[in-house]
Amino acid sequence: MLADAIRSETYRLLQNRTAVFWSVFFVPFIALALSIAGAFLIKTKAEQLAGELPPGLATSGPLDLGVAFANNAGGLANPGILAFLLIGAATLYAGDYRWETWRLISARNTRPVLMLGKVGVMKILALAAMLVFLLTSSIADIARGLIFDRPFTFSVGISQAADFGLLFVLSFVRVMQFLMISLLAAVFTRSLLAALFIPLVVGVAQFFLGEAAPALGLGPDDWSAQLLMPGLAFDTLKTLIKGGMEASTLPDGVMIKALVSLALWTLVPLGAAIAWFTRQDLSKE
Amino acid sequence: MTAVIETTGLTKTYGAVRALDGLSLSIPRGGIYGVLGPNGAGKSTLFRILLGLIRPTGGEVRVLGQHAGDPAVMRRIGSMIETPRFPPYMTARQVLQWLALAHGSKDAAIDAWLDRVGLTEAANRRVRGFSVGMLQRLGVAAALMTKPDLVILDEPTSGMDPPGIQEMRALIRSLADDDGVTIILASHQLLEVQRVCDRVAIFNRGKLAAEGKVSELTAAGERLRLSATPLARIMGVLGDKATLDGDAVLAAVPRAEGPALLRALIEQGVDIDEARWVGADLESVFMAETGPARTPAQVREALHAG
């Protein structure tokens, strides 16, 4: 039954090429183009100004693509990916309210399964967007290396592989967290625009809360800080995965708090959306 | 005779409004069952409950022997409630493919259904450009392609042109007669209902006002139509049982008294050109059960009062 829901939602989403383009392809390719253009610009300007590249860029040291890929995996939950994935999420989650098509499919499966089917397809879409972004950011790394004449190395150790895997999973959870807020907004308001903008508003609010946190006396080891700001929880876990000096400064027990925060911000909106949808009057679309 | 739908004391309220008011109804398996009633009589509310879109406030309802909304039962029902809507970026063929996948159906025979509802030529057109009639046809195909045991259609011919209506009527009839599907349909087109339905229920203000075979309901208003001369003599024999209908007379007598009446008229020297029984149409039965249309003055009065 869940397979039917995922199959049909995937089929429908693939017919909506506009939503797929904006959700999956726009940000990675724009980022790639800007990155390459920026590298060319910097090189040209630097050569014009001083005949040399700025410190840091002019390094003759090799570019370790293994490390670069792991870092890219940690940057997949960026605002560009999140914002444009919401186009697909809003279409998928609120489309049946927008086009009054719930009554066509609600008779063909149970409501929780229909909702989980949508979430399943959104996971696939998010993974696709992340993988495309990973690919284009890796291409951008290679292109920048070529532009700045840096030699390449590719260190593939257990440590890099583990970092890459953990950072990728962490970014995926962070992306899904936003998409679950979109789901709840879609089901609760029945509005495509709300599904698109409410997660953005929540994200912006959390950003400003994070900026104000020190003034409010909230430290990273506070339960309230971790629970109110899943972005902080995400950054905490990212730091712990990367290790090093910064990780060693984090207080003990903060990992559990961050994990609980991420889990709550993902599962609570999902559970609330399913519970609300199960009792929703679908004749009022 | 087993029932596909059984309701007992079914009630649905929206605030102070009772959309269904203790409705008890049994719809038999097989054939075409019409659900009639003025706007707000509770037809759509009943359909929405049967399809699990809303929950009743009170009472019992069983669909194909199970509780309404049971997923296993829902998969045996095809439905089209009001004018169907579809994702506008999809073609007609894609819509059916999508719904077939949602149903888990591997052999939906999509092209055959597009052909059966007359949409073969429009199969690859996006539905955003479809007329209401084309949307209705696509909705009917979507309701039927999974071979359901029970089909619920709300105004299936709304927005269709006369040939389309005729095709739809033939399709519905063939589904009931050839495929053994039980069809429940609601329509305001009473002539259509009279032509296509075997039984009807007439709703009024959330209650069942009348129910039965179309032939039985209309037989209650059956009249003997006499084309004969002189009319004055016929009127004299029949008295207040006669009403003029153009050049003819309608005699309100039971069918059993027909032969005796004809003999009496002939004995009185009446020259009879034609005598035939005419039933009351469903419209008269409907109006009798749901009350006459309000006069403009009554409408104005209601508006001022409300």
From A5's Cα to the closest Cα of chain B, the distance in A is 6
Please state the ipTM of this predicted complex. 0.83
- What confidence category does residue B106 fall into, taking pLDDT thresholds of 50, 70 and 90? confident
* C-alpha span between A191 and B193 (Å, rounded): 38
- As a whole number, mean pLDDT of residues B253-281 equals 86
Q: Torsion angle, CA of B9/B13/B17/B20, rounded to 10 degrees? A: -30
Min distance A177 CA to chain B CA atoms (Å): 26
Q: Are B76 and B150 in contact (CB under 8 A)?
A: yes
Mean pLDDT of B7-32: 91
pLDDT > 60? residue B40: yes
Q: How far is A108 from chain B (nearest CA, A)?
A: 5
Distances (CA, A) of B211 to A14, B1, B152: 48, 16, 18
User: What's the mean per-residue pLDDT of chain B?
Assistant: 85
* Domain B222-278: which CATH number of 3.30.70, 3.90.320, 3.40.33, 3.90.1690: 3.30.70
Contact A8 B101 (CB under 8 A): yes
CB contact under 8 A, A107 and B88: no
Split at pLDDT 50, 70, 90, the class of A86 is very high
Considering only residues A232 and A135, tell me which one the structure prediction assigns the higher pLDDT: A135
| pLDDT band per the 50, 70, 90 thresholds, residue B285 | confident
Query: Looking at residue B60, what is its pLDDT?
Result: 92
Are the folds of B3-213 and B222-278 the same? no
Fold of B3-213: Rossmann fold (3.40.50)
Chain B residue numbers touching A282 (CB-CB < 8 A): 53-54
Q: Which of A15, A17, A92 to mutate to test the interface with B (most CBs of B within 10 A)?
A: A15
In this prediction, residue B298 carries a pLDDT of: 56
- Write the Ramachandran bin of B146: left for phi over 0, alpha for psi from -120 to 50, otherwise beta: alpha
Which chain B residues are Cβ-neighbours of A1 within 8 angstroms? 71, 104
What is the DSSP track for A212-276? HTTTTT--TT-HHHHHH-HHHHHHHHHHHHH-HHHHHTSPTTHHHHHHHHHHHHHHHHHHHHHHH
Contact A8 B98 (CB under 8 A): yes
In 3D space, the residue among B67, B30, B68 whose CA is nearest the CA of residue B49 turns out to be: B68
pLDDT of the residue at A94: 93
Is B136 an 8 Å CB contact of chain A? no
A-B C-beta contacts closer than 8 Å? 77
Q: Region B115-138: what's the mean pLDDT?
A: 90
Over residues A197-219, mean pLDDT:
85
The residue segments making up the domain with residue A21 are 2-208
Decide if A99 and B142 are in contact by the 8 Å CB cutoff: no
Å from A110 to nearest chain B CA? 6
Query: Token match 């992340």: residue?
Result: A130
Mutation site for B-interface testing, chosen from A4, A9, A12 by largest number of B Cβ within 10 Å: A12
Please state the domain count of chain A. Answer: 1
Residue B41 DSSP symbol: S
State the burial class of residue B13 (Cβ atoms within 10 Å of its Cβ: 0-12, 13-18, 19+). middle
The reply to whether residue A108 touches residue B84, judged by beta carbons under 8 angstroms, is: no
What are the start-end ranges of the H helices in B3-78? 43-50, 71-74
**Which of the pair, A156 or B113, is modelled with greater confidence?**
B113
Identify which of A102, A97, A116 has the alpha carbon closest to the alpha carbon of residue A4: A116
Q: Do A281 and B52 touch (CB under 8 A)?
A: no
Tens of pLDDT, residue by residue over B197-242, are 999 998 888 888 888 888 888 777 778 888 888 888 888 888 888 8
- Residue A260, in any domain of the structure: no
Residue A272 lies in a domain: no
A117 → chain B, closest CA residue: B102
Chain centre to alpha carbon of residue B231: 38
Query: Tell me, what's the pLDDT at B39?
Result: 85
SS3 content of chain A, % helix, strand, coil (to 5): 80, 0, 20
Question: What is the DSSP code string of B158-202?
Answer: TT--HHHHHHHHHHHHHHHHHS--EEEEE-S-HHHHHHH-SEEEE
Would residue A281 count as lying in a domain?
no
For the CA atoms of chain A, what is the radius of gyration?
Answer: 21
DSSP-based three-state secondary structure for B63: strand
Within-domain flag for A230: no
- What pLDDT, on a 0 to 100 scale, did the predictor assign at position A59? 54
Q: In this predicted model, what pLDDT tens digit does every residue of A111-127 receive, in sequence order?
A: 999 999 999 999 999 99
User: What mean pLDDT comes out for the span A35-61?
Assistant: 73
Closest to B26 measured CA to CA, from B54, B78, B61, B71 = B61
Q: Return the SS3 of B209.
A: strand
Q: What is the mean pLDDT of residues B15-41?
A: 90
Q: Is the pLDDT of residue B268 over 90?
A: no
Examine the pLDDT at A160 and tell me if it is beyond 80.
no
Q: Is A271 a domain residue? A: no
User: How many CA atoms are closer than 13 Å to the CA of B139, on its beta-carbon side?
Assistant: 30
Q: Is A58 within the bounds of a domain?
A: yes
User: Residues 59 to 98 of B: which have CB under 8 A from any A CB?
Assistant: 71, 74-75, 77, 79, 81, 84-90, 94, 97-98
**What does the pLDDT average to over A186-198?**
94
Name every chain A residue with its beta carbon within 8 A of the beta carbon of B101.
4, 7-8, 11
Residue B306 pLDDT more than 50?
no
Token couple for B295: 């006069």
How much is the pLDDT for B98? 93
Q: Are A220 and A256 in contact (CB under 8 A)?
A: no
Q: Is the pLDDT of residue B288 over 90?
A: no
What residues pair up with B242 in beta bridges, in sequence order? Answer: B251
- The predicted pLDDT at position B190 comes to 84
b/e B39-74 (16+ beta carbons within 10 angstroms → b) = eebbbbbbbbbbbbbbebeebebbbbeeebbbbebb
pLDDT of the residue at A285: 47
B-chain CB neighbours of A11 within 8 Å are 94, 97-98, 101
B51/A18 Cβ within 8 A: no
Residue A255 falls within a domain, yes or no? no
Among the listed ranges A25-29, A82-86, A128-132, B176-180, which one has the minimum average pLDDT value? B176-180
What per-residue confidence (pLDDT) applies to B83?
Answer: 78
**Binning pLDDT at 50, 70 and 90, where does residue A90 land?**
very high
Comparing CA positions, the residue from A25, A77, A118 lying closest to residue A265 is: A77
Distances (CA, A) of B80 to A121, B144, B210: 27, 9, 24
What confidence tier does A27 reach under pLDDT thresholds 50, 70, 90? very high
Nearest-Å Rg of the Cα atoms of chain B is: 23
**Does residue A247 have a pLDDT over 70?**
yes
Q: Which of A103, A105, A279 to mutate against chain B (most B CBs within 10 Å)?
A: A103
Residue A12 in domain: yes
Q: Report, as an integer, the average pLDDT of B244-259.
A: 84
A281 chain-B contacts, CB cut-off 8 A: 53-54
Q: Coil, strand or helix: which one is B251?
A: strand
* In chain B, domain spans: 3-213, 222-278
Using a CB-CB cut-off of 8 Å, the residues of chain B touching A14 are: none
Q: Check if B124 contacts A (Cβ < 8 Å).
A: no
Instruction: Quote the pLDDT of residue B255.
Output: 80
Give chain A's contact residues with B (Cβ, < 8 Å).
1, 3-5, 7-8, 11-12, 15-16, 18, 95, 99-101, 103-110, 279, 281-283
Question: Taking residues B118-123, what's their average pLDDT?
Answer: 92
As a 3-state breakdown, chain B gives helix, strand, coil percent values, each rounded to 5, of: 40, 30, 30
